[in-house]
Structure 1
Amino acid sequence: MKFAFSTNAFTNYPLIQSIEEISKIGYEGVEIMCDVPHAYPPNLNEDKIKEINKTLKNNKMQISNLNAFTLFGLGDTYHPSWIENTKEARDLRINHTIDCINLAEKLGAKNISIEPGGPVEIPSNRDKYLELYANGIREVLPQAEKKQIKILIEPEPELLLESSVEFLHFMKNFDSEFLKLNFDIGHFYCVNEDPSMLVLKLEEYIEHFHMADIKNRKHYHLIPGHGSIDFKKVLATMDKIGYDGYVTVELYPYKTNPVEAASISMKYLNSI
């Protein structure tokens, strides 16, 4: 397997500098945030895309994933989501996702990660939300299949899809090689699941991993080794299934010291 670092910890840095810093630390890959201030599609012209590609090439870096989860360019971390009450708001999320698919093709990325529906305002409307989310995925999937870019759903605590059970149930609606899973180790740990066991359970859907440590099952991303997750056990199970893709360290709470956080994480990964 290969290790990458997400630029969402580097929002105080320009994207080009973020890629350079992550490369210096020793990561093989970079996950690029498809949002302000980095690679929000409406803000990128062809010259900027060429500059990003040139920087990746010069630093011998690959894109592990395009993070199309947050949408501060139009709202916030979660909004507009896939399950907003109005079609106009849902369309903003759908159009953003299509833009990210098109950007992935231009940057040579193989996949994008997306939110698992969004925050659920009225629990009793769960079936309605699931239908809205499925309908939204059906609108973007044809473009993903056309461009050969995989869409990775990322279950997260307190959103529509939190657990492996909910993810698997939702996936029964689809039969596409281009709709898969962004396996966030910390997120599953937060909802009282054992990530090492889930690697085996979800093997057929896994395309990419997010890594951050968690303490006391509280959803707050910590530097690997600073929380409670047994990463040796998780990585051993990943080895067992022959996973040879990217594991992206995602530490957006460390915006004031991303270089230090990325460096400490790399030292920890090397130590295990």
Structure 2
Amino acid sequence: MTGTDNRASGPIPFRFGYGTNGLTDLRLDDALGLLADLGYAGVGLTLDHMHLDPLAPDLPARTRHVARSLERLGLTATIETGARYVLDPRRKHGPSLLDPDPDARAARVSLLLRAVQVAADLGAHAVHCFSGITPEGTPEDTAWRRLAEAIGPVVDAAHDSGVPLAIEPEPGHLLSTLADFHRLRHDLGDPGALGLTLDIGHCQCLEPRSPADCVRDAAPWLRHVQIEDMRRGVHEHLPFGDGEIDFPPVLAALASTGYQGLTVVELPRHSHAGPQLASESIEFLHKAATEATRPAPLPAPAPAPAPAGGGTP
């Protein structure tokens, strides 16, 4: 065998989840029941108008209902905040933390603060967020300053709640790579409550290193993982097998980090086939996890040394 064998040395209890942004045609209770029946450990719950609307009345009461459902079904959660139009019905993901209007930035901060509270009430592992796209005409230094200033109160709230904030490098956004995450981390003074959402497909799409290497590089800050297939240079979330990623090495790398959070399937444009893809995805991931955790084969024994001397005297 040549190279490095990255497989884990024993069975690792991966905790797979599925994102509700890929189940938007289902009621939330129905989606949670489906995932529990399929054997998922948890859910990536996107706060949106169809699933635990963060802006509708009686959010605490509705959150308690979800908490009871999760407990009854044996599911855990991470809270995701990537709803496309939850704040502005005309601007996808708007307003962002980079918006030129301070009041608009404040609206996004308020949403994230609500998400932190929901996560705390649900006992969630983390709250996911992203930077947003740099507005046209905005100098890069200005965009980074806005991001740091806007996200600071959310990091503080995450610290107080005990639920880490996990920012995601997103293709096309100001914060799009692991290097960008480290820039923000350093700008904020390396707060313990700020972690990383690592999307495995995004690593395939644009990171210079392989997805497995990205997992290992990100390990100290890893708080949430999203997973799907993807092709190099194309930001399109694909069902497993439709892209270019070799998943057993990725899962082996994840196992080697000791990561204990959810690894959530992220297929936000496939809700029309959500139940079918949820079923196919968990089957695929279990097979990949079995391969990732299969003990490496023992090396072949070395050949016996030749007898000393040159034969019969």
TM-score bin, normalised by smaller chain: over 0.9
Q: Secondary structure at the match of 2:242?
A: coil
Deviations 1:209-228 (A, max 9, x none): 10010034311111122210
Deviations 1:223-258 (A, max 9, x none): 122210111111111122222321101111111110
Moved more, 68-77 or 29-38: 68-77
Is the Cα–Cα contact under 8 Å of residues 190 and 214 in structure 1 kept in the other structure?
yes
State how 1:111-130 maps to structure 2 within 5 Å.
111-115=126-130, 117-122=131-136, 125-130=139-144
Distance 2:74 2:281 in 1: 20
Deviations 1:163-199 (A, max 9, x none): 1112112211232211000011111221143221112
State how 1:72-87 maps to structure 2 within 5 Å.
72-75=85-88, 76-87=91-102
Is the Cα–Cα contact under 8 Å of residues 24 and 271 in structure 2 kept in the other structure?
yes
Are 2:233 and 1:217 equivalent residues in the alignment?
yes
In the alignment of these two chains, the number of paired residues is 270
Are 2:192 and 1:177 equivalent residues in the alignment?
yes
Moved more, 128-137 or 42-51: 42-51
Deviations 1:143-181 (A, max 9, x none): 111111111000010000111112112211232211000
Letter in structure 2 aligned against 1:7 = T
2:109 corresponds in structure 1 to: 94
Report the TM-score when normalising by structure 1: 0.94
2:55 corresponds in structure 1 to: 42
What's the offset of the Cα at 1:42?
Answer: 2.2
1:18 corresponds in structure 2 to: 31
Distance 1:86 1:138 in 2: 17
Is the Cα–Cα contact under 8 Å of residues 33 and 67 in structure 1 kept in the other structure?
yes
Is the Cα–Cα contact under 8 Å of residues 100 and 135 in structure 2 kept in the other structure?
no
Is the Cα–Cα contact under 8 Å of residues 80 and 128 in structure 2 kept in the other structure?
yes
1:263 corresponds in structure 2 to: 279
**Structure 1: unaligned runs, 5 residues or longer:** none
Distance 1:179-1:192 versus aligned 2 partners, 3 A rule: closer
Q: 49, 66, 71: which one pairs with 2:79? A: 66
2:292 corresponds in structure 1 to: none
State how 1:135-174 maps to structure 2 within 5 Å.
135-174=149-188
Q: Which has the larger radius of gyration?
A: 2
Alpha-carbon RMSD: 1.5
Report the TM-score when normalising by structure 2: 0.82
**Structure 2: unaligned runs, 5 residues or longer:** 1-13, 289-313
What is the percent sequence identity of the aligned residues?
26
What's the offset of the Cα at 1:37?
Answer: 1.3
Letter in structure 1 aligned against 2:121 = K
